[in-house]
Chains A and B, each alone.
Chain A
Amino acid sequence: MSTTTTPPPGVSEQDLARLAEHWGERPSLRGWFSTVDHKKIGRRYLVTAGFFFVLAGLSALVMRTQLARPEAGVVSPQEYNQLFSMHGTAMIFLFATPMLFGFGNFLVPLMIGARDMAFPRLNAFGYWVFLFAGLFMWASLPFGAAPNNGWFAYVPLSGEQHNPGLHMDVYALGLLFLGISTTAASINFIVTALKLRAPGMSLNRVPLFVWAIVATAFMVIFALPALNVDNAMLFLDRRFGTHFFDPSGGGNVLLWQHLFWIFGHPDVYIIVMPALGIVSAVLPAFTRRGVVGYPLIVLSIVSIAIISFGVWVHHMFATGLPQLSYSFFSAASTIITIPSGIQIFAWLATMLLGRLVLRVPLLYVIGFVVTFVLGGFTGAMFALTAFDQQVTDSYFVVAHFHYVLIGGAVFPMLAGIYYWLPKITGRMYHERLGRWAFWLVFAGMHVTFFPMHLYGLFGMPRRVYTYRSEPGWDGWNLVSTVGSYLLAVGLLLVLVGVVHALRRGRPAPPDPWEGDSLEWATASPPEPYNFPVLPRVHSLHPAWDERTAESVRAGATADRILSDGRRTLVTSELDAHPERAVQMPESTLMPLVLAGALLVFFTSMLFAWYPVAAVAALAVAATIAVWLWPSRRPDEELGVSG
């Protein structure tokens, strides 16, 4: 951490010292557990989601090893079921969304010129819940008790009768637990972007990445409850003998699927949208110009968010569709092509009109465009009914959605990691190492998943632990497996690159890329208070705008220092007109305690220790009461809550 920032002209040494005192934390263990700093929380999200990605990736490697040759015996069928279920569940729920939320946590306050999220303690709470829920789910794997019915867990196969043991209880409870975190983070993103934008950052100057995160958060708010209701019903059916999904008691198995896909349709957009936001954020720095068609992209972001709910309607009127699993991917990818096509054309135009700087982040952006477009293309193929009969639940589908998910989410994330690494760590990455990693990842991805189209077409079903030797299956499966190892080596090199940067990397200047948004107007890594003077925004590219820099210099005498407390500025929703300064909460252990109490609650529910669960529920209520109890700090008299 750089501790000796020279104050901008007009900011006194005392102001800076006071800011550091109000926002800084002592580097103690307690400080580590109690921090509410969005940058630290964002980093933790990134690291934790990365860790779950490694676990899910290792599961995939074991599967690919098993499938390398016909009739192999690396894992048993039961183990294989748990592996692909945990792989899919973790990739979707514990990696993709949390990773993107990690970027959001680190970046949104910086990009909008605020000093923290709107609800910093809620933010810390969301992280702890994510960590605990992830560990809760992964911990079941070594005991052979992991979810074993795929990531969409269809009843009746996931019901008590067909699936005794803890497997699906872990799934239902784990996702309910995790949902608390995702909801909390989403509310926080929306309110932060609405109320904490720097003065002058009217809606038409909000960075595209922030737009994408907010649209995603809205989708979560309205999509996730369906999954929660579903899982609550599943758990009640399994454990307490209710009949929501049980035809013999008047229930209906299709109810599970309907509720699941009411969530699941928007979920594709929930994953891909913030990743597209990363692309829009990375491009200006490597094309030396603003992204073409800002209003069009905003429009497309908003319409994706709305369309994703339009698909609900398609779902609610469709009767008993047996192959929902992939009509999901097909419907989603067909419709997403229109607005995301707009974005892709805008990016291509940006690249054509700009001056390309072919650094690693841009390589990943190009890799993303290529892969994602291919994935969209195979998605459109499902629209042909005859074709679609042939490939239902085959490896063709697996190939298709990995093109969409790896192309559409993982590549942009990797672009983001390289792009923001200097900001996050204060260190530059090693360019050559980064390039090697990119080519391995890119080649590995295509070598793994392209052949899946082929043996999928030849009829190899998904979710089988082994297969008989068949012409067209053996060789290509081996190629896939080799590819997955290549991919793994590439990802390992990414990790090596990060560690190398942390250990040996050149110290990063505040703005190594000449980026256009406000995070580049801070130190690398940013001070705990983010901005000594809260900036005033005059255009869409504040970091390229002399007036913003001028406002920081001149504004030093005005009210945007707010050094007399742990404060940030609240502005109006539409035109970001300053309204008041608010006192932000201090570090506290409460979020950790609350998440811990919830962990006890869910664990005791899992093992049917109901008295313990009741005690934990009381502890949860008590913790919330203590957390919210108004302190007598004079600042509270300002009418600040949080």
Chain B
Amino acid sequence: MSDGGGVVAAATGAEALSTELPVGRSAGWWGMVMFVATEATLFACLLGSYFYLRFQYGPQWPPDGIGAPELLKPLVMTAVLVPSSLPVIWAEHGIRHGQRWRLRSGLAATMLLGMTFLALQATEYAEKLKHFTMTTDAYGSLFYLITGFHGLHVLVGLTMIGWLLAASLRGGSFGSHRHERVRNVAIYWHFVDLVWVAILFTIYLSPRL
């Protein structure tokens, strides 16, 4: 089966269907966009809760003994995660032109960056846990819930990218006319990146303002 396979058999009559793929936004694209919209609302509620509790808490935030969060590591994490959107774009554009090698190398690069991010987050947790945990107080609860939930999203995104990579390596699954899933996963990954920027601002920068 060639990648440029026809669309519909028997396209006769007045309204012949286009044979150029893709036409318009696919159902899968809309599905992913809606999913991302509801997930974004979820993060908005989490970050809203952060600010709500913070302003109810009193002047000392983060509470005594915890101190304003270190900035270096989160900035490095940002420098790792945000650029990881680029190889995804590169991969997606590549496969649109039927260049499987671009798809594969781009996805592999993204995986590498994403995994680095998670590794950095693990070391950050290891440090932080020495000072405070989820049960220390509301600040700790918020910190671990929000960053942990985002980390989970990175993990899910990595799983999806790994899945694409595996499917592509298995041979022939994606091509110039068959890249919707790549596009949809890309949307999700960009979203995960963007949320991180909001988290960076909320958790790491805002207490220093």
**Residues of A bordering B, CB below 8 Å:** 118-119, 183, 186-188, 190-192, 194-196, 199, 221-222, 224-226, 228-229, 232-233, 236-237, 240-244, 246, 249-252, 254-255, 258-259, 262, 316, 536, 555, 557-559, 561-562, 564, 570, 572-573, 578-582, 621, 625, 628-630, 634, 636-642
Is the interface on chain B under 10, 10 to 19, 20 to 34, or 35 or more residues?
35 or more
Q: Are B181 and A229 in contact (CB under 8 A)?
A: no
Which of B17, B22, B140 gathers most chain A CB within 10 Å?
B17
Given contacts A557-B13, A628-B163, 11 further A-B pairs with CB under 8 A are A191-B31, A225-B42, A240-B135, A243-B137, A244-B145, A262-B45, A558-B12, A559-B15, A580-B23, A621-B159, A630-B181
Distance of A246 Cα from B142 Cα, bound (Å): 13
Q: Does B38 contact A (CB under 8 A)?
A: yes
Total number of A-B contacts with CB less than 8 angstroms? 186
Distance of A233 Cα from B39 Cα, bound (Å): 16
**A–B complex contacts, Cβ < 8 Å, 17 sampled:** A191-B27, A191-B34, A225-B45, A233-B49, A233-B141, A242-B135, A250-B139, A252-B53, A259-B49, A558-B12, A559-B13, A570-B27, A579-B17, A579-B24, A580-B17, A638-B178, A641-B181
| Stretch of B2-10, B107-115, B196-204 contacting A (4+ beta carbons < 8 Å) | B2-10
Partner pick for B141 among A228, A243, A564, CB 8 A cutoff = A243
Partner pick for A236 among B9, B141, B184, CB 8 A cutoff = B141
Assuming A249-B137, A557-B13, is B2 touching A637 (CB within 8 A)?
yes
Q: Are B138 and A118 in contact (CB under 8 A)?
A: no
Name the CB-closest residue of A to B135: A241
Distance of A191 Cα from B48 Cα, bound (Å): 29
Q: Does B209 contact A (CB under 8 A)?
A: no
Distance of A556 Cα from B115 Cα, bound (Å): 54
* Chain B 119-145 per-residue mask, 1 if CB under 8 angstroms from chain A, else 0: 000000000000000111111111001
Q: Are A639 and B21 in contact (CB under 8 A)?
A: yes
Q: Are A194 and B180 in contact (CB under 8 A)?
A: no
Distance of A567 Cα from B119 Cα, bound (Å): 45
Assuming A225-B38, A229-B45, A581-B8, is B138 touching A244 (CB within 8 A)?
yes
Q: Are A250 and B52 in contact (CB under 8 A)?
A: no
Interface residues of B in 46-67 (CB under 8 A from A): 46, 48-49, 52-53, 56-57, 63
Distance of A241 Cα from B46 Cα, bound (Å): 18
**Residues of B bordering A, CB below 8 Å:** 1-3, 5, 7-18, 21-28, 30-31, 34-35, 37-39, 41-42, 44-46, 48-49, 52-53, 56-57, 63, 134-142, 145, 159, 163, 167, 173, 177-181, 184
Partner pick for A639 among B16, B39, B177, CB 8 A cutoff = B177
Nearest chain B CB to A29 CB, angstrom units: 30
Q: Which residues of chain A come closer than 8 Å to B12, judged between CB atoms? A: 557-559
Q: Are A638 and B13 in contact (CB under 8 A)?
A: no
Partner pick for A580 among B14, B21, B184, CB 8 A cutoff = B21
Q: Which residues of chain B come closer than 8 Å to A573, judged between CB atoms? A: 24-25
Nearest chain A CB to B85 CB, angstrom units: 21
Partner pick for A558 among B14, B140, B173, CB 8 A cutoff = B14
Distance of A183 Cα from B163 Cα, bound (Å): 24
Assuming A233-B145, A240-B135, is B11 touching A559 (CB within 8 A)?
yes
Q: Are A639 and B8 in contact (CB under 8 A)?
A: no
